[in-house]
Amino acid sequence: MRFKFILPLPPSLHQQYSAHDGRRFLSADAAQYKVALEHKFLWLYLKGLLRGDWTKNFDKEYLRLRYEFYFASPFRCYLDSGLKLAQDLVCGGLRVNESRIVDIEMVKRVDKYHPRLVVIFEVLKDWDFSGESSLFYEEEAVTEEINCLEDSAVRSAALTADLMTAGTPVLAGAVDPNGNGHNGSNAGQVTNLDELMRRFHWR
């Protein structure tokens, strides 16, 4: 079963909170958005639109959500900036436990005159947690697999060895191939990756 909800575009992340005395609170814009959506979902319940058979097993079935954010401009907003607020309100409005969500897709769209959020809500009878049910699962779809789960010390030592072999200044604080810290001399060394990338024109 699949359902579509057309909602107002949520405030961007930097507009969602305000700070006072070191504590964060929902901003006036975010609070107004929250109240408006809560009232809208309550109205849908009172009209009987959210009380059909499709809502009875939310606690037993799996959920897939697709968020289509229609912004007025393509590059002035982060795609995920309103995701958390919108998801909290949609799941709260539908009385859904967010732990039942197994797949999320986000898409950026542009509509200069009618910014909005379209949420496509799909109820799944089953889900394969091995990965093959994933929206993005394709066995041969990637060009190269880069494993970032390797031991960080081993990875750092290997990187340092490669840089030293290439005659590249080593990042200050990196370990040498024997697992030791640098020799204490900072001559010729750089202190961060951005500096290293600039020096050798890696981007």
In a domain, 19, yes or no: yes
CATH number of the domain that residue 69 is part of: 3.30.1330.70
Q: Which has the closest alpha carbon to 9: 96, 110, 147, 133?
A: 110
- What is the rounded distance in angstroms from the CA atom of residue 37 to the CA atom of residue 90? 8
- Unique residue bearing structure tokens 């289509």: 68
Range of the domain at 55: 2-124
In a domain, 198, yes or no: no
How many separate domains does the chain show?
2
Residues 66 and 109 in one domain: yes
pLDDT digits (tens, 9 = 90+) for 89-144: 888 888 888 888 999 999 999 999 999 999 988 888 888 887 665 555 555 566 66
pLDDT at site 31: 83
Residues 183 and 112 in one domain: no
Between the ranges 22-31, 75-84, 132-141, 178-187, where is the mean pLDDT highest? 75-84
> What do you get for the CA distance between the two ends of the chain, in Å?
46
Residues 7 and 107 in one domain: yes
Residues 92 and 42 in one domain: yes
Residues 99 and 34 in one domain: yes
Which tokens go with 191?
A: 């202190």
- Picking from 124, 142, 166, the residue at the C-terminal end of a domain is 124
Q: Which has the closest alpha carbon to 77: 120, 109, 45?
A: 109
Q: Which helix (H) or strand (E) holds 68?
A: strand 62-71
